[in-house]
Amino acid sequence: MTTADDLIALVRAYNPRTNEKLLREAYAFGAAMHEGQVRQSGEPYFSHPVAVAGILAGQQMDDGTLVTALLHDTIEDTKASFAEVERRFGHDIAELVDGVTKLTNLQLTSTETKQAENFRKLFMATSKDLRVTLVKLADRLHNMRTIKSMRPDKQAQKARETMEIFAPLAGRMGMQWMREELEDLSFKVLNPEARASIIRRFITLQRETGDVMQKITADMRIELERAGIVAEVTGRAKKPYSIWRKMQEKDQGFSRLSDIYGFRVITATEADCYRVLGAIHQRWRAVPGRFKDYISQPKSNGYRSLHTTVSGRDGKRVEVQIRTREMHEVAETGVAAHWSYRNGERVENRFAVDPVRWIATLTERLDNEQDHDEFLEAVKLEMYQDQVFCFSPKGDVIKLPRGATPIDFAYAIHTRIGHACVGAKVDGMRVPLWTRLKNGQSVEIITAEGQTPQATWIDIAVTGRAKTAIRRSLREEDRERFIKLGAELARVAFENVGKRATEKALRTAAKALALDDTDEMLARLGSAELTSRELVAAIYPDLAERRGEEVPPSHAVIGLNDDQSFRRAPCCQPVPGERIVGITFRGQGVVVHAIDCQALAAYEDQPDRWLDLRWQDGTHAATNTVTLDLTITNDAGVLGRICTLIGEQNANISDLNFIDRKPDFYRLLVDVDLRDAEHLHRVMTALDAESNVSSIARLRDPKRAQVGQDKVSA
């Protein structure tokens, strides 16, 4: 374990004016608080906070951040209190330590709704002091470096969480080196075979072609010397995960993937960057569409660099990044550059962004999201985006994520422009609204009075801002219809548990669900954003969760290993009482299919993935959703009677979707939560006997299998 003297020596190398006394006191206090605690590897627990501090010292962070790293687990895992940390180290340090503790306690792998709320809390904590997130990222990096001591299931959980949340967050903050290492460490856990295969192929490639990096680096240095440019040239192979991701994105094998090498040129001035670019393009042929100028159009986290891809030796593509030393420091440490020290002084880097302003711009758009799912979608889009820059007819630059469409462009200008959009011109040519925009294009939005957003726009739009505005407009347009449908669904849901949906009950439920009023709640219920079960549970949680005690849902299936979880296949929606089989997915559990499901044909040549399963005997919970395909007459009150019939069979409607409307008939899909096959038969029999129901069938769609598989793999 690194000693206090070793840590201080590391800090003094870049900050001779460090507060040595403060660091020693924090080291001693942390060691005392964690005395007797050990990690799962058997090492003293305090070795972890020390290692986190070492990672941050490697980024030349200030004393406050290093002290926070040494103490970041004291409030959570020891007898130390906030008051004691505040008394010993001051209010600012105590606030930072408490912020890290709160981030650590967030359950980021729970349900989507909770995950969205946790993201919101994460950004709220980040907005107070970004160093909280820097310490948390270093904490996660060390945990991933030492993950082998954890149980396999915990390793997979932490790796998925790291891949989905912490790695992109590090990248969003400009700490690309940390993002790459977090991704590769997670990749090693989640798909070790793929990673090992890429490494083996890469070693074979090096053996066949020799040390390509040294040759190309030498070639570049010669060209720069000829041009009279003084610059530092380095090369490296991309990380295994980065190579694997490119293989997936381009649907190519390793042998056809050429741009697996990256080269970096560090110059003295910004003008030299463009001179280097000219020298490289004169010597090697540039690959069309692979040039990006992040110097004239920097990223929001301060990143500046020129990116180009050229055909190097033997026609192999190589990526080249060109930047100045100041730009390179920001590229390496991102937003953390704001706290970097050198020779005891805060580094003044003109390219480092103000972290307060940066996090404000990041959270400004996210704070406007009221819906949990929309907020989570906006967060992920913000964190994963790769920007393109387009121009308005007036010459204004509009930043959009890769894959954005004219609809996103319109809403980026103003919500009013987006709502009224009827067409677009790109570089003077009329194009469809689903066209993907590219860097440097000029976009003109065509509007018309009376135009309103179309439902299909949600699938065309990419940005969270556009999607949110479209959904809000559609929700308001259909509000009255949804309120009426929601009122009927609420009545049936309450009657199903022996209660009445009185005005007072509905007001109480709206208040419990933190919604503005009863109409807002009924509109969400009618639009399937709120389920009947959630509505009833807001007032009568015991009644809403009433289920058969004999068979807990988590143990409904027999034939699984203790560490295997399961989910019902969306294509066939099997229910207890039907014969079933399971298909295993690596690291994702088991998907349960009905024995006659057509989607099983896709796995006929993979017998090792099949499991012989059966339902547990006993009473099952009414949590098994089945989709019914109904055609009903278009008469007053028919839909209400249908809902009543389903409620009378003690079944709950969890979703309802009209898919075809005719003057005399409606066709709709109704999701009904059932206990078992017998329960399903009773519901279908009752509906079939209704004179206003012209046809009824259970929806079993093999196409849904791919959707389900995508969810499992996500």
Q: Is the dihedral of CA 160, 162, 165, 168 positive or negative?
A: negative
* Residue 277: pLDDT over 90: yes
Tell me the residue ranges of DSSP E strands in 312-410. 317-324, 341-342, 345-346, 387-391, 397-401
652 touches 674 (CB < 8 A): no
> How would you label 680-705 residue by residue, b for 16+ Cβ within 10 Å and e otherwise?
bebbbebbeebebbeebeebbeeebb
Q: Which residue has the higher pLDDT, 275 or 210?
A: 275
Tally the residues of the chain. 714
Separation CA 377–CA 512 (nearest Å): 25
Q: What value does the mean pLDDT take over residues 48-52?
A: 93
588 touches 712 (CB < 8 A): yes
The pLDDT assigned to 559 comes to 84
Average pLDDT of the residues of the chain: 81
Separation CA 93–CA 82 (nearest Å): 10
632 touches 694 (CB < 8 A): yes
578 touches 624 (CB < 8 A): no
Q: Which residue has the higher pLDDT, 111 or 294?
A: 294
The pLDDT assigned to 345 comes to 54
552 touches 516 (CB < 8 A): no
Find all residues with CB under 8 Å of 542, minimum gap 6, and list them: none
The pLDDT assigned to 265 comes to 94
Q: What value does the mean pLDDT take over residues 74-79?
A: 83
193-346 has CATH 3.30.460.10 classification: yes
Q: What value does the mean pLDDT take over residues 227-247?
A: 83
- Looking at the whole model, is its pTM more than 0.85? no
Q: What value does the mean pLDDT take over residues 263-291?
A: 89
Q: What value does the mean pLDDT take over residues 449-478?
A: 83
Separation CA 162–CA 137 (nearest Å): 10
Separation CA 230–CA 266 (nearest Å): 9
Q: Which residue has the higher pLDDT, 546 or 304?
A: 304
Q: What value does the mean pLDDT take over residues 386-413?
A: 83
Angle between helices 82-89 and 91-105 (to 10 degrees): 140
Separation CA 327–CA 321 (nearest Å): 11
Find all residues with CB under 8 Å of 206, minimum gap 6, and list them: 212
Q: What value does the mean pLDDT take over residues 354-380?
A: 54
* Residue 365: pLDDT over 60: no
Domain ranges of the chain: 4-190, 193-346, 385-476, 478-544, 555-714
Strand, helix or coil at 63? helix
CATH classification for the domain delimited by 555-714, as one of 3.30.70.260, 3.40.190.10, 1.20.1260.10, 3.30.470.10:
3.30.70.260
Active site residues: 76-77
pLDDT tens-digit profile of 601-642? Answer: 888 888 888 888 888 877 888 889 999 999 998 888 888 888
Q: Indicate the pLDDT class of residue 54, thresholds 50, 70 and 90.
A: very high
* Residue 689: pLDDT over 80: no
Q: Which residue has the higher pLDDT, 475 or 80?
A: 80
213 touches 236 (CB < 8 A): yes
Query: Which residues are 322's β-sheet partners?
Result: 265, 306
The pLDDT assigned to 231 comes to 92
* Residue 125: pLDDT over 70: no
pLDDT tens-digit profile of 315-340? Answer: 677 889 999 988 887 777 766 655 55
Cα–Cα distances in angstroms (integers) from residue 691 to residues 113, 377, 642, 658, in the given order: 40, 43, 11, 20
Cα–Cα distances in angstroms (integers) from residue 146 to residues 99, 139, 240, in the given order: 24, 11, 19
385-476 has CATH 3.10.20.30 classification: yes
* Residue 121: pLDDT over 70: no
4-190 has CATH 3.40.50.300 classification: no
